[in-house]
A and B are shown apart, each in its own frame.
Chain A
Amino acid sequence: MGKKKKSALQVILEDAGIEFDGEVETDTESEEDEVKDKKTNKQPPRETGKTSRLQSKRQEKDKEDKEDKEDKEEDESKEEDNGSQQNRACRRKNYQRRNRDGKKAREEESQKKDRGKTAPTKDQKDSENKEKKTTKRGKEGKKDRKNSTSSASSNSSDEESLSEEELAMLKEQVEQKKKLISTMRNKPWRMVKKLSVLREAQDFVEKFEGALGKGKGKKLYAYKMMMAKKWVKFKRDFENFKTQCIPWEMKIKEVESHFGSSVASYFIFLRWMYGVNLVLFALIFGLVIIPEVLMGMPYGSLPRKTVPRAEQETAMDFSVLWDFEGYIKYSALFYGYYNNQRTIGWLKYRLPMAYFTVGISVFGYSLMVVIRSMARNANESTADGDDNNFIFSWKMFTSWDYLIGNPETADNKFASITTSFKESIVDEQESNKDENIHLRRFLRVLANVLIICCLCGSGYLIYFVVKRSQTFSKMQNVGWYERNEVEIVMSLLGMFCPPLFETIAALENYHPRIGLKWQLGRIFALFLGNLYTFLLALMDDVNEKLAEEDVVKNITHWTLLGHHNSSAGNASAVTPPPLDPADVPRGPCWETTVGIEFVRLTVSDILVTYITILVGDFIRACFVRFVNYCWCWDLEAGFPSYAEFDISGNVLGLVFNQGMIWMGSFYAPGLVGINVLRLLTSMYFQCWAVMSSNVPHARVFKASKSNNFYMGLLLLILFLSLLPVAYTIMSLPPSFDCGPFSGKKRMYDVIQETIELDFPLFVAKIFSYVANPGLIIPAILLMVLTIYYLNAVSKAYQRANAELKKKMQMQREEEKNKRNNKASTNPMLQDLEDLLTPSTKTESPPKQAEDKKTESLNGSSPVRKPGRGEVLAGSPMASGRGAAFTPPSQAFVTQPRTLGVRAPYPGQPRPWGHPLGPVPGRGRGQPCYPPWAAR
């Protein structure tokens, strides 16, 4: 009686289990299941016994196939294409399943027919679906069914708790179904399957719990979904907005995608420079030029604000204006225009003071911003570079943007992916390069010697030429060549040395990124000669002007005196008519001369750069492109070919240009405005030129993460340009009749004056104390010590960082090795075990699963209770399908593949290797069938 009762219960529970795991069944099917419930109650127990045995067999097979279980389930395309094996597996399972309950199979057939009625054309497809479903059901179901059966057998002893247990179980299952419904959309199943599983789950829930899982929850979910989507959209819009706010980001990205990050780094540098110059421009225009224009004395009111009588005829001619003479010279763009009045306008704006502080703060701000940007870059480059284990993998699998929906963007993306692959390949090849290290070293030393020789030679040449030009300038009638010798030599050097350096650098065979740095440094050293001659010439000029000034000062003095005397002699009572400002004799005003010199240089530099681009790149590209049709050799591949973008030349041009701006901006406040215009136009012009007429480098290489090298050059230039300006401010007397500091001994006197006149007395006292060398020297010492300390600390951190990185790397390697060892040793162990039990193996090939079952069965009831608990805990297997498909990578990965055959699936209850089991050594136990299986 007990037997019969038990089997009935078992059947019920099993059916429940089937229903639970066999989610694939449609609603009709589940209804039929319900009918079947009653029918199977009357079925002889033998069938269930057979069922379980078959089931166990299937389990063994499943274990064999477990390796590729997940993929097998879903992949129908595979089933179609190369899935002979899979298909076999499916059919096998299907067959078993049908064997197990042919009744069910028949039901399915009938259902198939039903479906066929509704959609006759889909018959074939449906049958395939069915097949798949059954396969899946078999797989998913096996575990729960097993658990349910085992728990059922365990529960058979106490009949009282039956209904309660069953109820709890049902409840559990309903919960699981609900969960399944809510996570249905996360499952990687086909829609057909999802739909059917969903319907079944819903029916199940409805059957056992009424109409739940619909209604309010759904609405809430929809609302949540909507909000989430809105949030995502908002975030994306915001991101878009942010990117759109970055100027020229698109342009630069486009250049980057075709020419690589190294070329893009130049444009990023250009953009950064533009930003800095905008700030300088705002500072100078807002605090100096605009106040002067608005509140200062108007043009013509003072000699320094008037064009001298002799020049007035031609002051508006274009040729004169083009040389920044005439009206431009006597405008607020240059130093000489400013008056030395302490305060101007109704605001009592202290213009000379403002002029001086702005001049200083231009340098202060530039220094600060360069150093801050360098520090940030250094930070970023150390923070980012930790995880580079998957450079190529990520490039391959995540670089395509699935949202691209426009051919142009797609082209760009293809180009950028190709470029980035090439960049990484270059890096990789460089790191793998091993060759004759001694030869390489020798070649590098040789190259450096050659280049130092070149530099020395060119330095001497410049020195020689400058000396010669000084003697020429003293002579009267010199030819055109003698007059322009310095410029000609300089431009010849600038034209031929960089390619020469590049040729020599080929000897060194550095990584192109490092090669670029060397090249930059060398050309920088060459150009320093340029700077040196320019400054030398300028200083000569200034000294000349200073000497001239002394003479003029006397003349002016006497002229004014004479004017007064003459007017006084004519009519003593009447005040003399003021001398027209245009007639007053002027000093040479060396500050304005210097300013004009810098402006001229900047403008000519702009023109030369643009013309070079136009001729050297664009015209050449046009020539190569169009004349190629009628030429005797291939122009594109052969000699002229297209130009490459010259990163080093362009970066250095930018850096030196900025040096000119820094040096000149004190004497020509308008210079920054010109530079802003220059950078703006050059951004568009060069972007266009590079896209239209240049070709990418043969070896596209990745720019270093921080362009700190450019910044370093910039800092050097900033320092170099600070020196002459500071020298002129501190040690040259300002002109007596022009500029905001006229009449003072030194320019910085304006600060002392302000402190004495406008601040309370104690400030002046404090200032005098602070300026005391006794205080300054200790302060400098303290700073040096601080720098030393901080440097030491940062070095220590760096070392620690490197150490940690190394450790991490080693750990990873170790882990990998361990895994490999496991994978390699495990089959060996398995073989050993098999050798130990040859008899069992021959008797029942799939013994392992049986053994496991034995163990689980032979455990006494206390073992089984937790087993049932595990059913509850583990049965969300079906709902947690997604998790099974994509298990937590860690857990999954740590299982070697060969181990995976035996290892308990995460979340799958399998009391395998339980200490209570009578046969602890797996594989050696007798294939003793569980009592319920033996029946």
Chain B
Amino acid sequence: MGNKQTIFTQEQLDAYQDCTFFTRKEILRLFYRYRDLAPQLVPLDYSDKPAVTLPYELIGSMPELKDNPFRQRIAEVFSEHGDGNMTLDDFLDMFSVLSEMAPRDLKAYYAFKIYDFNNDDYICKSDLEKTVNKLTRNELTPEEVSLVCEKVIYEADVDNDGKLSLADFQHMIIRAPDFLRPHSCWAQLHAEDLYSLIVTPTDI
């Protein structure tokens, strides 16, 4: 119990609480999760903001991200330099956005960034192709992939510029019935372990 005070100052904890969707306990829990990735790198004292970054290889091996086809993109989007290496702040940011309490708008914004592979602020055809191939593990033929991409652009591109802007994306995603919500039953069942990691406050 005593180490609670030494990791973060009270101020830091308060600030983190204001900036994320987590409570104190969850923040500490996430800190320990972060530290467990590389105990030799991450100090136990964060009150003076040490500049520690964990490489993507460690972040991507977390059970929450391990099976996600977009894990690299997620890490890149949330990392400070876009290389997937994360500081604790980035780490907290990522889980805050991915947590259940985050509002739809915020998630949609980050989802757009995640799907925007080449960072040009538009989801263009190459981005879509990458997304499809990641989602289907390259099971579709190139013709099928291009058909799907054309259909997506046809459906969602409101201003007819051949690519999806953030506005197009939001226009489409806001109508989606189950955007970023656990809907398929088996995912829900298996999601429990992850869920407990992120949300359940347990006393440390």
Contact = CB atoms under 8 A, between A and B. Distances in A.
A389 B189 contact: no
Question: Which among A396, A885, A897 has the greatest number of chain B C-beta atoms within 10 A?
Answer: A396
Contacts of A199: 15
Given A119-B49, A233-B199, A409 B186 contact: yes
Interface string A387-400: 10111111011111
Interface residues on A, range: 35 or more
B161 A897 contact: yes
Interface in A286-333: none
B155 A391 contact: yes
A425 B93 contact: no
B111 interface: yes
B184 A413 contact: yes
B95 to A, nearest CB: 11
Main secondary structure on A side of the interface with B: helix
A191 B173 contact: no
A393 B152 contact: yes
A192 B89 contact: yes
Given A243-B189, A819-B159, A181 B173 contact: no
A407 B135 contact: no
Contacts of B66: 405, 407
Interface in A75-114: 75-78, 80-83
Given A225-B21, A412-B186, A421-B140, A394 B119 contact: no
A414 B101 contact: no
A902 interface: no
Contacts of A229: 100-101, 199
B151 to A, nearest CB: 4
Contacts of B23: 222, 225-226
B194 A76 contact: no
A81 B17 contact: no
B101 A390 contact: no
A191 B93 contact: yes
Contact of A118 (B49, B177, B183): B49
Contact of B64 (A405, A892, A896): A405
B70 A400 contact: yes
A418 interface: yes
A402 interface: yes
Question: Which among A222, A417, A887 has the greatest number of chain B C-beta atoms within 10 A?
Answer: A417
A232 B80 CA distance: 31
Interface string A406-441: 111110111011100110110011000000000000
Given A118-B49, A403-B188, A403-B195, A418 B136 contact: yes
A195 B63 CA distance: 28
A815 to B, nearest CB: 9
Contact of B187 (A225, A404, A820): A404
Interface residues of B, number: 101
B204 interface: no
B158 to A, nearest CB: 5
Contacts of B108: 886
Contact of B170 (A190, A387, A399, A889): A889
B51 A122 contact: yes
Contact of B82 (A80, A184, A214, A399): A80
Given A186-B103, A191-B19, A192-B89, A77 B182 contact: no
B118 A82 contact: yes
A181 B119 CA distance: 30
A544 interface: no
A214 B13 CA distance: 13
A674 interface: no
A624 interface: no
B189 A250 contact: yes
Contacts of A240: 185, 188-189, 192
Contact of B121 (A71, A194, A409): A71
A160 to B, nearest CB: 40
A249 B14 contact: no
A615 to B, nearest CB: 31
Contact of A425 (B63, B147, B175): B147
B68 interface: yes
Interface in B133-163: 135-137, 139-140, 144, 147-148, 151-152, 155-156, 158-161
A65 B31 CA distance: 39
A887 B170 CA distance: 9
A185 interface: yes
Interface string B89-127: 110110011101111011011110101001111000000
A401 B184 contact: yes
Given A81-B119, A240-B189, A390-B175, A897 B159 contact: yes
Contacts of A181: 18
A841 B101 CA distance: 50
Interface in A813-833: 816, 819-820, 823
B20 A185 contact: yes
Contact of A820 (B17, B49, B160, B174): B160
The 5 closest A-B pairs by CB, nearest first: A77-B82, A191-B89, A403-B191, A410-B67, A405-B194
23 contacts: A76-B81, A76-B82, A77-B119, A81-B119, A82-B120, A118-B48, A184-B18, A185-B21, A190-B89, A195-B16, A240-B185, A244-B189, A401-B182, A404-B187, A405-B64, A407-B67, A413-B184, A413-B187, A417-B136, A422-B140, A886-B106, A889-B171, A892-B170
Interface of B: 14-21, 23, 48-51, 63-64, 66-70, 76-77, 79-83, 87, 89-90, 92-93, 96-98, 100-103, 105-106, 108-111, 113, 115, 118-121, 128, 131-132, 135-137, 139-140, 144, 147-148, 151-152, 155-156, 158-161, 165-180, 182-195, 199
